Amino acid sequence: MIDGKKTDLKRTKGSGNIEKFGKHAVNEQGAEQVFFQFDEWTGKHRDNIAWISHEGIHGFYILTSSPNVEHSF
């Protein structure tokens, strides 16, 4: 739980798993939000985060290179 919401934590390097992990967390595991940790960040990561947010999946992400900076989506 983070901020009183059931949260699923996901760590991935590539951007290709963002949609799959986000949908799995919400639809199959019952999470209300997803917390991602990315080992790298590209434009594809940004686009995929925007896509799942548009689909109603929300949460936060951090980058391994700057773990103290949290971004919401």
**What confidence tier does 2 reach under pLDDT thresholds 50, 70, 90?**
confident
Mean pLDDT of 44-58: 95
**What confidence tier does 3 reach under pLDDT thresholds 50, 70, 90?**
confident
Q: What is the pTM of this model?
A: 0.88
- What pLDDT score was predicted for residue 32? 96
pLDDT at 13 over 90: no
What long-range pairs does 52-56 form, CB within 8 A, spacing at least 24?
Answer: 52/18, 52/19, 52/22, 52/23, 55/22, 55/23
The CB density around residue 10, as the number of other CB atoms within 10 Å, is 19
- What pLDDT score was predicted for residue 43? 92
